[in-house]
Amino acid sequence: MSATTAPSSTETVLAPTSRWHGLLRRHLAMPGILAAALLGTYLWVASLSLDDIERRSLNAGYLLRTINQHLMLTALTTLLVVVIAIGGGILLTRPGMRRLAPVATGLANIGQATPAIGLLVLLSIWLGIGFSTALIGLVAYSVLPVLHNTIVGINQVDRYLIEAGRGIGMSPGAVLLRIELPLAVPVILAGVRTALVLAVGVATLATFINAGGLGALIVTGIKLQRESVLVVGAVLTGALALTLDWLGGVVADLLRPRGLD
């Protein structure tokens, strides 16, 4: 009869350490690439002789204001999408609600199938222009990936694990919180990352309904033929999208159940 060998203290220490090393290896390159791109853009703009219009558009105060508007719109969109889509996705995987899942995903698909600028214009005719209208449009445009991934992530959990949880006396809520959601986290977070990038990109169009954001720089650059303003707006928008996607990847790796590493 063999004795069970307890894990040594060295193995206990190395397990979380190797997890962090793997996390650093996977995600260390992106911050450096983004920093190099932003520094290169700054040095290029600093080498130019800017006219009055370019100086007004590229001064630090105006840039910080547009970045803040863009971040606020993106953050509120993501928060609302997470609450609506994850909550709705959980409900649509419960036995009594599953038949409504195709209807709900079909409705969510309408928002994303509609061209973003057309959706914002239609909403502005109905609700008026401004930040709140842009927020509603972005939520409608970004909700599908999170809703779909929540439904798929929960439905793909092994049914034997769920039955085992019920067999040891877990309530339906405990099964959801301790088995289904933890195992569905990677798929759900992939949807959240997609929604984040969508929100950042579509938020550039919010400037057309007077909701601010980095789209103002891009529109100014195009209308007034100021290449420097256009490039700065495009680079900042791209850098913001990549930064949020990178952060989403880090969070996904941190929340991934240990056995799925």
Report residue 36 as tokens.
């190099």
| pLDDT of the residue at 154 | 93
Q: How far apart are CA 84 and CA 87, in angstroms?
A: 5
Q: How far apart are CA 15 and CA 80, in angstroms?
A: 36
- 49-78 pLDDT, tens digit per residue, is 888 888 998 998 999 999 999 999 999 999
Exposed, middle or buried, 29 (CB in 10 Å: 0-12/13-18/19+)? Answer: exposed
Exposed, middle or buried, 70 (CB in 10 Å: 0-12/13-18/19+)? Answer: buried
Across 153-169, average pLDDT: 88
CATH number of this structure's domain 30-35+52-260: 1.10.3720.10
Report residue 69 as tokens.
């508007």
| pLDDT of the residue at 39 | 95
What percent of the chain is predicted at pLDDT more than 70?
88
- 101-112 pLDDT, tens digit per residue, is 888 888 888 877
Q: So where are the chain's domains?
A: 30-35+52-260
pLDDT band at 2 (very low <50, low <70, confident <90, very high): very low
pLDDT above 90 for 231: yes
| pLDDT of the residue at 17 | 59
| pLDDT of the residue at 204 | 92
- 140-151 pLDDT, tens digit per residue, is 999 999 999 999
